[in-house]
């Protein structure tokens, strides 16, 4: 009986030691895969209304409120990974109706939802970009906002 308790205490102590120091994160980011880097870059530049922070042949990055939204070449970094569905980015926007109009103009047949879906204080819509990646834009009404 004492051995299982001792083992559990040892595991708990070891786990606490591994998370005692916070991870030194400098910036959060995510990426979507693309087969056509120029087409994907143009799409996201138009969606975000800004040019990329940096652009290389197989990697393009946009600064989105201090985070990094990147587009990477499937051929260079992810051969064999199927198109679309590689990540599910979700981005909070201040005006979901404006975002929906912009997306409808960019990819008229790209909506996965029938307009904006409302679930209490959470509203969202999903769409496919030019590379078949599913993106979700959302808004969240919170008290004090």
Q: Is residue 78 part of a domain?
A: yes
Residue 11 lies in a domain: no
Q: Which domain holds residue 66?
A: 27-140
Structural domain includes residue 10: no
CA–CA distance, 55 with 98 (Å, rounded to integer):
27
> How many structural domains is the chain composed of?
1
With 90 as the cut, is the pLDDT of residue 98 above it?
yes
Determine the pLDDT at residue 35.
93
Residue 145: inside a domain = no
pLDDT, greater one: 17 or 64: 64
pLDDT tens for 8-59 read 555 555 555 556 688 666 778 888 999 999 999 999 999 999 999 999 999 9
Distance CA 54, CA 69 (A): 11
We report the CATH number of the domain holding residue 103 as 3.10.180.10
Confidence at 83, pLDDT banded by 50, 70, 90: confident
Asked whether residue 131 is domain-assigned, the answer is: yes
Indicate whether 18 belongs to any domain. no
Q: Is residue 97 part of a domain?
A: yes
List Cβ neighbours of 141 (8 Å cut-off, separation of 6 or more). Answer: 121, 123
Q: Is residue 125 part of a domain?
A: yes
Confidence of residue 105 (pLDDT cuts 50, 70, 90): very high
């Amino acid at each position: 009986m004492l051995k299982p308790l001792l083992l559990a205490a040892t595991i708990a102590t070891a786990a606490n030691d591994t998370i005692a120091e916070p991870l030194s994160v400098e910036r959060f980011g995510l990426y979507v895969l693309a087969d056509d880097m120029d087409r994907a870059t143009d799409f996201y530049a138009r969606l975000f209304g800004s040019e990329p922070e940096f652009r290389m042949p197989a990697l393009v990055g946009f600064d989105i409120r201090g985070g990094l939204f990147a587009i990477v070449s499937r051929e260079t970094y992810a051969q064999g990974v199927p198109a679309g569905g590689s990540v599910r980015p979700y981005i909070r926007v201040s005006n979901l109706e404006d975002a929906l109009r912009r997306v409808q103009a960019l990819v008229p047949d790209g909506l996965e939802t029938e307009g904006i879906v409302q679930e209490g204080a959470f509203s969202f819509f999903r769409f496919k970009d030019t590379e078949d990646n599913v993106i979700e834009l959302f808004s969240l009404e919170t008290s004090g906002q």
